[in-house]
Amino acid sequence: MADGSNATLVGARRGAPATVPGAPWRAHGSWLLAAVAAAFTVAQLVLVGPGLGLGWDETVYVSQISAQAPPAFFSAPRARGVSLLVAPVTSWSTSTELLRVYLAVLSGLGLYLALRVWRTFFPPRVLAAAGALYTSLWVTLFYGPAAMPNHWVALGALVCVGCFLRVRADRTDRAALWGVAAGAALMAWMRPTDAVWTTLPLLVLLVPARDVRLALALLAGLATGGGQWIVEAYLSHGGLGERLSEASRIQGGLGWNLAVDDQLRSLVGRTLCRPCTVETPHPVIMAWWFALPLLAVAGLAVAARARRTRPTLVPLACAATAAVPYLFLIGYAAPRFLLPFYALLALPVADALCHLVTAPRGRLRPAVAAVVALGLAGHLAVQYVVLDRTVDRTAADRRAWTRTAADLHRLGVRPPCLLTGTEAIPVGYYAGCSSANPRGHNVNITEAGIRRTAGRVPTAALSPPGTPPPPYARGWRTHPSAGLDLHLAPSPPGDGTR
């Protein structure tokens, strides 16, 4: 072929789907992919639950277009994709349950569409296994119904890379060309820097190929998604360079930082490991993480033997570049950062496992199948235990924020109002108040500004129990709450609520 692919086109008519020589499957098995996507949706609602309150970052994204609270400070690293994704619900409803159901259904549908893209290159059983492997991870189940960007970057990566390979195999596949742009745009809307890292191998492949249409589709997708982020950089952050520098500072300074050990520690269910000083988890919890690269290499060997190396090698390369910043360039860890890595790696891993089960002959086949089944059962058990503990722990934190918001309302701090200090952003969302801080990563006000605001609307400063209030809140009345001390400013003139 003109692009050097080892795939050939099957079908005499123009636009026929591309596949590989001797492939025993055709574009079928949609029901199997739909079953995996439906199971993923149900698992989110059952194991995580629609009643789980919003987390810290979620309150920031949701508050940008929300009937619940004023917009929270939007720091430099964040992008607007999640806020737009949830706007059909949050713009008119304050129901967290409705939002969770909406996101669970949408994430299941997104998974189905992303897996369908790859039917040209892998049989349905491999794609179904890949979807099951990715969605059985505790981190995928936890963040699938969350108002967070990482799962959507993962789905965008699957769509973009799969459609890219389809266009390389069949230049007449116009739907795939649009898919490249759509997948790249979805990634860039959610996390522009992640989109660039993930598509680096695709950009490199385009240099010798000189495929102008494919290059334009990929670059147009990145520009469509990242354009708003760049424009906002010049409007609110002093330029693109300043925004990137500010984002680096907020993330602890990007540079050589070996974060592999931090990611390992976070596997126990730490949604944010910063600083990551917890002990290394039990080997049983980490075993799957070390098995992934080994199985991925095995999947590449299977693909090479079947003469379909490219559809395996390209997602492997994109998975590797997507993981680079979170394994080697930041000094902390959050498991959700690696969701695009896991989604892309699931394809060769599933291919290796399916081959491992079906390749042996005679009496060896049931023995191998039993070993694989036992290993997967143990893996699922570990993932469920970690997920259950993570949901319990985070739910307790979010219930505490709800109680603090209720205490504030009881003490007269009701909208319009201002909160500042420790955990002001999430508590502010729950209380319906604005949030502001004169120091830290979310600086958006001065101490003088807080004092002026306190003269107009009910204001409270939040601090850890037993610690002195910030300087601007000295002399304010202190009330204990759920894990926080509430320092209430004197009532504004004409306000008799306290």
Q: What is the pLDDT of residues 241-297, one digit of tens each?
A: 999 999 999 888 888 999 999 999 999 999 999 888 888 999 999 999 999 999 999
Provide the residue type at 74 as one letter: F
Assess if residue 291 is contained within a domain: no
pLDDT tens per residue across span 443-458: 899 999 999 999 999 9
Residue 14: pLDDT over 50: no
pLDDT at 27: 45
| Domain boundary residue, one of 202, 233, 252 | 252
pLDDT tens per residue across span 306-359: 888 999 999 999 999 999 999 999 999 999 999 999 999 999 999 999 999 998
Question: CA–CA separation, 194 vs 449, rounded Å?
Answer: 36
Residue 362: pLDDT over 80: no
For residue 353, give the nearest of 268, 417, 271, 295 by alpha carbon: 295
Q: Please, are residues 221 and 180 in contact by the beta-carbon 8 Å criterion? A: yes
pTM for this model (two decimals):
0.93
Q: How many CA atoms lie within 13 A of 239 on its CB side?
A: 3
- For tokens 């080994």, what's the residue? 294
Residue 6: pLDDT over 80: no
pLDDT at 174: 95
- Number of domains into which the chain is organized: 2
pLDDT tens per residue across span 384-403: 999 999 999 999 999 999 99
Assess if residue 217 is contained within a domain: yes
pLDDT tens per residue across span 401-434: 999 999 999 999 999 999 999 999 999 999 999 9
Better-scored residue on pLDDT, 19 or 243: 243
Assess if residue 476 is contained within a domain: yes
- For tokens 């742009």, what's the residue? 181
Range of the domain at 457: 396-488
Provide the residue type at 152 as one letter: W
Assess if residue 286 is contained within a domain: no
Averaged pLDDT, 189-216: 95
pLDDT tens per residue across span 91-113: 999 999 999 999 999 999 999 99
| Torsion, CA 312, CA 316, CA 317, CA 322, rounded to 10 | 140
Assess if residue 346 is contained within a domain: no
pLDDT at 490: 94
Assess if residue 290 is contained within a domain: no
What is the C-alpha R_g of the chain? Answer: 25
Q: What angle do CA 5, 214, 323 make, to 5 degrees?
A: 80
Helix (H, G, I), strand (E, B) or coil at 469: coil
| Domain boundary residue, one of 252, 276, 293 | 252
- For tokens 């159901």, what's the residue? 101
| Domain boundary residue, one of 252, 269, 300 | 252
269: phi > 0 → left, psi -120 to 50 → alpha, else beta; which?
left
Assess if residue 495 is contained within a domain: no
Question: CA–CA separation, 467 vs 111, rounded Å?
Answer: 47
Give 335's contacts (C-beta < 8 A, 6+ positions apart): 139, 263, 266, 267, 270, 271
- Mean pLDDT, rounded, of the chain: 92
Assess if residue 338 is contained within a domain: no
Residue 1: pLDDT over 90: no
- Enumerate the H helices of 80-191 as residue ranges: 81-90, 96-116, 124-135, 138-143, 150-169, 174-190
Give 9's contacts (C-beta < 8 A, 6+ positions apart): 1, 16, 18, 169, 170
Q: What percent of the chain is helix, strand and coil (3-state, nearest 5)?
A: 60, 5, 30
